[in-house]
Amino acid sequence: MFSQRFGFILLLVIVLIPGISLASKGKYNYISAADLETRLTAELPTNIVDIQVEGEFSQHHIKGATPTYAYPVKSDADRTKLNTIVEQLKANTDPVIIVCPRGAGGAKRTYDHLFQQGISAERLLILEKGQEGWACAPLTENR
Name the residue range of residue 96's domain.
29-141
Task: Output DSSP code: residue 123.
Answer: T
More confident residue, 35 or 9: 35
Cβ neighbour number for residue 119 with a 10 Å cutoff: 19
Q: What is the mean pLDDT of the chain?
A: 87
Q: Is 111 helix (H, G, I), strand (E, B) or coil?
A: helix
pLDDT digit string (tens) for 29-86? Answer: 999 999 999 999 999 999 999 999 999 999 999 999 999 999 999 999 999 999 999 9
Q: pTM (2 decimals)?
A: 0.80
Tell me whether residue 15 is in a domain: no
Residue 22: the pLDDT is 28
Q: Is the peptide bond before 18 cis (omega within 30 degrees of 0)?
A: no
Tell me whether residue 65 is in a domain: yes
Tell me whether residue 24 is in a domain: no
3-state helix vs strand vs coil in the chain, percent to 5: 50, 15, 35
Q: How many domains does the chain have?
A: 1
Residue 24: the pLDDT is 36
Tell me whether residue 3 is in a domain: no
Cα torsion 96, 70, 41, 104: sign: negative
Tell me whether residue 128 is in a domain: yes
Q: 113 near 79, Cβ under 8 Å?
A: yes
Tell me whether residue 73 is in a domain: yes
Asked if residue 15 has pLDDT above 50, the reply is no
